[in-house]
Each structure stands twice: as C-alpha cells, then as structure tokens.
Amino acid sequence: MQFLVVLKDHIDVTHKQYEMEFTTETTMAQMKDEIASLFDVPSQYQRLFHENGNPIGRADLNGPISQMGLHHMDVLVVTHGQLEMWITYTDLVRDFANCQYSASKQTIAETAMDHFNSMSKGKLFSGYSAFYKEFSKLHAPISKYLDKQTKWIKAAACSYFKLSMFRGQNPKLKFEPTFDGSRSAVVCIVNLESAERKFRIKTNHDAKVSSTAASFNINLIEMFLYKLFESINIGSKITFIPNCVLSKSIIYIASEWIPNLKTINDIHEDDLGNLTEEIVQLHFLAVFLTLGDLHEENFGFFEKKIENPRLYVL
C-alpha cells in the first residue's frame, strides 16, 4: 500500500510530505514509527487524518493498517498534538507585550516558558522548523524578562555545571539566597567527590535592579573588568555561564568563593585603621574604572594576618 503522507499545521499549511509504502500487515504502531523517523514527530504526539479531515480511528496499535479504512494511494494527513499549545503560546506572547502590571507580566512569562518547555520536549519545533524561526522572534522579550529571575539563574547554573564544567563528576548542587547588591544573584555550592566549590552567580549590571521588568543585554565592559581583576590577582576566579535555558544571548557572572576572605563588613572597626592605604587604593580603582556596584559585601581582604592584607574585589 502506497500513501502520500503530509504534515500540516493548524491552518492547513503543508510543512513536509513524503510518499511512503507499507504492506497490508504493517501495524499502526509500525506505521507511526516510520512517520516519526521521517517527519520528526514522536508517535505519541501524532494525530492522523484522512484527506477529508476525518480522524483515522483509534484502533489497536498492534492491529494492521488494512483495518483502519486506509486504501492504496490515499493521502494521509499528520499533525502534531501540541498545535493547540502553540496557539496558546502565541496568545501569551501577545498578552505579555500588552500587559502593564508587573505581577501579571511575571505570571504570563512563566506560563509561556512552561509552554515552550513542553513543546520542546514534544519536539514540536523539529517537525515544524518554521515555528522555531517564529518562536525565536516572539520569545526574545520574554526570555530577557525572565533572565534576571533567580529561578532561571539556578536553572542555567545547573545546566552549565552538570553538562559542561563538571561533566562526568556527578556534581550535587545546592543554592542559597544572597541579598547583597542590587542585581539578581544566587549562591551555588557544588559538591564534588573530591572537593566543595562555591560560587556567587549574578546578572550583569545592565540588568538593572532585580525588581524591574526591563530587558537587558550583555555588558562587555563589566565582563572585561571581572577578568582583569582575576588576571591581576585582585579578583575571584570568574566563570561566565551562558543561559542555556532561556535566551542563550545572556551570560551570568559566576565568582568563585575565596576562602579566608574578610569583607569590609567582617572586619572589626578597630582594624580598619591598618587598612587605610588599601582602602584608598580601592577607591582610586573604583573611580578610575568607574565601578558603580561596590559595597561592603563584595570587596574585602584575603589575609592571614591583618597587618599583611591582599585586596580582593568579588
């Protein structure tokens, strides 16, 4: 039996089509597996129709297709079961763009993201490549909005540490909140079999305060300064974490924790007099490099004795 198998969407547009041949004894399950391999639509998401739009009966998957009312040279229409979700997603994007209230905007963005994750798992974009091109344009405002939410910072860190930086080392991640600074940030503790490592992961300065809904782009100057501090040995070891979960154009800044570091808040006021020269150096550096986010929790001194300190900027 030979069929013309056509993949269509919710507005009856054809995306792919192939001529396929089966025997009368081919089971429905076998036919759906063949369709999945050609059209990249998983069998569990396939919806099959006759050319006139009537659904093909839901018979036993192990039964032969000859019992499904199919005939030689029929046109068989395939759609993806998540097309309704795609329609809902596009409606959510429109609602997000028109929404003026921060709380509602957050809910809409999270719901749209959940829909995207479901569609990705269901391989909707594999079958309908044109949808992914449209998605790339539609999703940018939502992804940039969510990039600064700590939930997604954690998700990006999990993806990066487990799949890249500590791949094969079975890392166990634990997150702690941090409230210093005005930008969204989390503390991530990575437990490995051989050691424990700790990172403070933040959005860049152009993300603006964590409570705003404005989108942001990568600040290359800030990234350069972090690596400069690392290279001249007054800063943490820096890792840039791409947001593999959302926009992919946003990079988070992960500063590795420095053991024995005392921030300014941790130093007793009686000892600050011994650090006058170093504090002056720091303020000169801040003015010279126009650093705008220094505070008492993100710079300090690594020292064994307070008389011999080394300045560090986190």
Q: Tell me, what CATH number does 72's domain have?
A: 3.10.20.90
**How far is it, in rounded angstroms, from Cα 68 to Cα 208?**
60
Q: Are residues 234 and 287 in the same domain?
A: no
Counting every residue, how long is the chain?
Answer: 314
22: its two tokens: 């089966």
Note whether 247 and 155 are same-domain residues: yes
Do 21 and 112 have their domain in common? no
**Tens-digit pLDDT profile for the chain (314 aa)?**
899 999 999 999 999 999 999 998 888 899 999 999 999 999 999 999 999 999 886 667 788 888 888 888 999 999 999 999 999 999 999 999 898 887 788 889 889 988 988 998 899 999 998 898 888 778 877 776 776 677 778 888 888 898 889 988 889 999 988 766 556 788 999 999 888 999 988 876 554 444 444 445 567 778 888 888 888 877 788 999 887 655 555 788 898 887 777 776 777 676 666 777 777 777 777 777 766 666 666 666 765 444 555 555 65
User: Could you tell me which residues are beta bridge partners of residue 79?
Assistant: 47
Domain boundary at 129, 146, 163, which?
A: 146
* Residues 23 and 101 both lie in one domain: no
- Total domains present in the chain: 4
Q: What is the pLDDT of residues 256-302, one digit of tens each?
A: 887 777 776 777 676 666 777 777 777 777 777 766 666 666 666 76
**Cα gap 118→186, rounded to integer Å:** 26
Domain that holds residue 290: 261-313
The C-alpha angle with vertex 174 and arms to 171 and 178, in degrees rounded to 5, equals: 140
Choosing from 117, 146, 175, the residue where a domain stops is 146
Q: Are 24 and 106 in the same domain?
A: no
CA 143, 147, 153, 159 dihedral sign is: positive
Final residue before a domain boundary, out of 60, 81, 102: 81
**72 and 15 within one domain:** yes
